[in-house]
Amino acid sequence: MEDFIMTTALRSLQKKVEAATSHQCRSLITTTPTLKVNDYLTARIEWCHRQATEALTTLEAIEWYAEQNGLIDALIERDCSHDYQDTSTLRERYTRGLQDGKVLIQVAKAHSSAHNLQQY
């Protein structure tokens, strides 16, 4: 029974992740400064997904998906923190993903700027 609940919950969460990446805000996406940041973010998003699918409880899986959603939102430059206000643990995990994603993007911008200066 727990496997059924877990599988059902994961499918629902996966659909939310897919919807997040095709959200109407997507038209506001700006290109990140390098492909490397996309690689890092993609790897981290995939890692969170893998952790969620290997989670022992539904709550643990939901927490990993909240962090994953934060990373996705950082990449597409939106903030859906309001969706996580009801549960402090989920808000914390979402915020962690959002902040980590923003940091990765800022580091890539700084690296890109330094690289451009070296070319001159």
Residues 79 and 94: beta-carbon distance below 8 Å: no
| Statement: the pTM of the whole predicted model exceeds 0.75 | no
What number of residues does the chain have?
Answer: 120
Q: List the pLDDT tens digit at each of the 120 positions of the chain.
A: 544 544 454 455 445 545 554 444 443 444 444 556 677 888 899 999 999 999 999 999 999 999 999 999 999 999 999 999 999 999 999 999 999 999 988 887 776 665 555 655
- Let me know if 98 is exposed, middle or buried by CB neighbors in 10 A (0-12, 13-18, 19+): buried
Where are the chain's structural domains?
Answer: 2-9+36-119
